Homo-oligomer: A and B are copies of this chain.
Amino acid sequence: MDPSPKQPRIDDAFGRILARCWAADTAPWSAVEVIERHDGLIVANDASRYFSEPEQWSSLDRWVWEQAAGRILDVGCGGGRHAVAWVARGHDVVGVDASPEAVRITRERGAEAVVGSVPSLPAGLGMFDTIALSGDNLGLLGGPEQAPQVLAALAAVARPGARLIGTGTDPGDGGTDHAEYHAWNLSCGRARGQLRLRVRDGAAATPWFDYWLAAPGELTAVVAGSAWTLESLEHDPAGSGYAVYLRI
Chain A residues with CB under 8 Å of chain B are: 1-9, 28-29, 32, 34, 38-44, 46, 177, 184-185, 188-190, 196, 200-203, 205, 208
Contacts and interface: CB of A to CB of B under 8 A. Distances in A.
A40 B8 contact: yes
Nearest to A178: B203
Nearest to A33: B44
A3 to B, nearest CB: 5
A29 B30 CA distance: 10
A9 B40 contact: yes
A30 to B, nearest CB: 10
Given A28-B29, A44-B44, A46-B29, A38 B5 contact: yes
Copies of this chain present: 2
6 contacts: A3-B196, A9-B40, A32-B32, A34-B34, A40-B205, A43-B202
A5 to B, nearest CB: 4
Contact of A3 (B5, B29, B43, B190): B190
Contacts of A28: 29
A207 to B, nearest CB: 12
Contacts of A6: 38-40
B42 A188 contact: no
A109 B226 CA distance: 60
Nearest to A5: B38
Closest 9 CB pairs of A and B: A8-B40, A32-B44, A5-B38, A3-B188, A42-B200, A29-B29, A6-B39, A44-B44, A6-B40
B42 A34 contact: yes
A186 to B, nearest CB: 11
Most buried by B among A7, A32, A189: A32
A2 to B, nearest CB: 7
A1 B145 CA distance: 13
